[in-house]
Structure 1
Amino acid sequence: MAEPVTADRSHNSIAPGCHWVFGYGSLIYKVDFPFLQRIEASICGWERRFWQGSHDHRGTPDAPGRVVTLMPAPAVICKGVAYLIDQNVFEHLDHREKNGYRQHRVDIRLGSAEPPVPGVVYVAPEDNPAFLGPATSAELAAHIAGAMGPSGSNHDYLLKLADALHALNARDPHVEELAALVRELIHQA
C-alpha cells in the first residue's frame, strides 16, 4: 500500500541516482513500484485527455481501451502526485508505460514549494501508434464503458482516476464529465 502524501520540504536536495516522476493517471492510485517520497504536485502547460489507446492494460489489440495522456495546453495546471524514485525504478515504469508513452522532461511543482524541481513525466504523443485522438464526450464515455483488458475494465480505470483526483482536491473537468457519463451508462445497463 502506498504511503500517504507527504509535504517533506527536503525535496530540493536529492541523493544521486534519484529522480522525481510525475503521475497524472493510474500512477496516482496504482503504485506498484518502490518510492522514497510521495507528494501532491503539479505541472504547468499540460492537460489530461482520454486520447491514448490501451492495447495491453484496459483493452486489447483488436479493441483498445482509452487511457489518459497529456496534451500541451498553455497556462493549464495539471495536478497529480510526484514520486521520488531510485534510478532503477525506471526499468519497471518504462515497461508499465510501454504502449506509446515516452519519458518527457518537465518542471514539477511539489506541493506549494518554490521553485519547481526537474523531473520526468510519461506522455503518449500524437505520433505513437496507439494514439486514438479526440472524440466527443459521449463517444469517449461509450468507448470507455465498453472496453475491457487484462488489467480490468476501462471504466474502472476512469472511475478510480476520478476518485483519486477528488481525494487530492484536483479538479479536472474532462475526467469529471467522463466519469459522470460513464456512471450513467453503467447504471442504465
Structure 2
Amino acid sequence: MTAPHDLLEIPEGLTLDRPRPGDGAAMWRIARDSRVLDLNSSYSYLLWCRDYAHTSVVARDTAGAPVGFITGYVRPRAPHTLLVWQVAVDHDRRGRGLAASMLDALARRTVTQFGVRALETTVTPDNAASDRLFASFAERHDAPLTREVLFEAAAFPERGHQPEVLYRIGPLALAAMP
C-alpha cells in the first residue's frame, strides 16, 4: 500500500512519456475500445499529441507502443488549473493501477513545470471507475474534492447523454507531489 503523499509505482515493464503525434492513432483506438469515453475524431488525437503533449501523458509497453493515456490542458482562464480531458487504459492493462500512476505523474509534472494548483475533470454519474480514480487521487494527496454539475444532460444534442459532473481537486500542494 502506498503511503500518503507517495506517487504510485508504475506497473512493471511500462514507462510514462509525453505523447507524440505518432501516438495519436493508438490513443484513438484505446479510447474507441474503452467503450465508455466519448470518441473524438482521430484527427483530434493527432492534434492533441502535437499541441498538448506537455499537459498529457502516455504509458508505453516495452516495445514503446501506447497502452494508456491521459489528455489534459491548462485552462486558459484559470492558468493554475489542469483540466483532465480523457483517461484511457488498454483493456488488458486495467486493474493494475496504471491510470492512477499516470494521473500522479501528470499532476506532479504540471505542478512543478506550470504551477498548477488544482485539477478538474468531468465524470458522468454512471462512471464508477473514474469516480474512484479521482476520489482516490484527492485522498492520496490530502486535497479537497468538490463535485457539481457542469453540464446538464439537456445541454447535449444527442439523446441519452448523462450530465457531466465537474470534479475539482485542490489546492494541490507542492509538498504532496514528491
Q: Taking structure 1 as the reference length, what is the TM-score of the superposition? A: 0.28
Higher fraction of helix: 2
Structure with more relative contact order (C-alpha pairs < 8 Å, separation 6 or more): 1
**Which has the higher Rg, Structure 1 or Structure 2?**
1
Q: Taking structure 2 as the reference length, what is the TM-score of the superposition? A: 0.29
